[in-house]
Structure formats: C-alpha cells, structure tokens
C-alpha cells in the first residue's frame, strides 16, 4: 500500500464511491488507506532497526520521547502502539481533555515533515494535519472533518490550497445546511485544483 504519486489523479473508492482516502473514517477501505500512510512507514522503520515484535513497544517509547528526530508518520505510528496511562486509549487519540493524550498530540507536531519533490512547500505538513484529523475525528467539528477528509486525496497528489482558500472552504461549509456540505466542498476543491492544473499560481505561493 503506497501513497499516490505526485501529479496523479485521485482514484475512486470502490466501497464509498468518493475519492480514495476521502471517505475516511466512515468508509473502511478509505480508513485502511489513511492508516496505511502511517503503518507503511512504521514497517520500513522496523526493518531499518531490525527489531523483533518483543522490542516494538520499547522502540515506540523511544520515538515518542524524541519526536523531533523522526518522520511524522513514524511518530504517529509509535503513539498508536503506546497506551495512555490516564484514559487507556492509544496515546494521543483519547478524548479531548485527557492530559496525557493532549500532551502527546501536541508533541507529535515536533516531528519531521519532508516535502516530496514537485509539491508546493508545506504540502507534507498539510497532509499530516489532515491525516491526524481524519484519524482523530472525535476531536473536531463535523464541518472541519468534512473539509479535511475531502481535501486529503488532492493533498496526497500534490495540491495545496492557500490559507485564504482553506479558510473560505471552512467558512462556507460551516454556514451551509448539512445536506449541501459535501457537494459544495467537492465543487470548491475541484475548482481550485482545476485552476492549478491550468497553470494558475496563487499570489505569494512559494513553489519548488
């Protein structure tokens, strides 16, 4: 299970009918793809360290203690393998207000984010934020989750909305009736990505 290539077109999901990744967390196929972004990197990390199953928890504890030295996917996977002493959930994914989970979630953003060749600067940060939101849906509003999950497929192929575009999407979604939110978000994302493919460059955007 690998991430889509930069510049590729999002593929439809056979289970939910939307774009792959974008149906998570409700769509089990999309959720597995999103989790795979993290799990694939962890599997490679284990191979590089050549550790057995009996050492995996100890390695996860080491990573969680020094998140700034590891890729964000490795950090997120390490937290998944640790149990929160306060709430008993996976560390960083417990209920809002759990002190240990809130701390772990904050520290995860010290991890390394490396943009792939050919993407706008900051694309990897956007990917990891949206992945985090989709994998922790209980900590955000329904409107915010909708925008994050629908944006994820196009972020994974290299798109990056401007701050203004993202804020406009979120604001319009919040003000729209629930039944209109999905088609509205999909149309706004489609229009923004079409402009990029046509060569439109947002003002002030630093591209590599």
pLDDT tens digits, 69-128: 999 999 999 999 999 999 999 999 999 899 999 999 999 999 999 999 999 999 999 999
Check: CB of residue 1 under 8 Å from CB of residue 40: yes
Provide long-range contacts, Cβ within 8 A and 24+ apart, for 10-17.
10/153, 10/154, 10/156, 10/157
Query: How long a stretch of residues is the chain?
Result: 208
Distance CA 95, CA 24 (A): 19
- Whether this model's pTM surpasses 0.85: yes
Can you name the residues that pair with 90 across neighbouring β-strands? 83
Q: What angle do CA 147, 176, 173 make, to 5 degrees?
A: 20
Looking at per-residue pLDDT, the higher value among 206 and 36 belongs to 36
């Amino acid at each position: 299970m690998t991430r889509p290539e930069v510049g590729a077109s999002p593929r439809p999901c056979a289970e939910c009918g939307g774009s792959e990744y974008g149906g998570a967390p409700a769509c089990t196929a999309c959720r597995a793809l999103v989790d795979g972004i993290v799990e694939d990197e962890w599997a490679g990390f284990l191979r590089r360290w050549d550790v057995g199953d009996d050492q995996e928890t100890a390695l996860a504890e080491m990573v969680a203690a020094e998140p700034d030295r590891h890729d964000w996917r490795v950090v997120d996977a390490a937290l998944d393998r640790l149990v929160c002493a306060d709430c008993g959930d996976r560390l960083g994914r417990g209920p809002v207000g759990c002190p240990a989970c809130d701390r772990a979630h904050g520290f995860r953003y010290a991890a390394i984010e490396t943009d792939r060749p050919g993407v706008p600067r900051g694309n990897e940060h956007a990917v990891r934020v949206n992945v985090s939101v989709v994998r922790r849906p209980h900590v955000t509003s329904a409107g915010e989750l909708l925008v994050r999950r629908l944006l994820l497929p196009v972020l994974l192929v290299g798109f990056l909305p401007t701050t203004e575009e993202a804020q406009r999407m979120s604001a319009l979604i919040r003000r729209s009736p629930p039944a209109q939110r999905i088609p509205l978000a999909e149309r706004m994302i489609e229009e923004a990505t079409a402009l990029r493919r046509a060569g439109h460059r947002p003002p002030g955007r630093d591209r590599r």
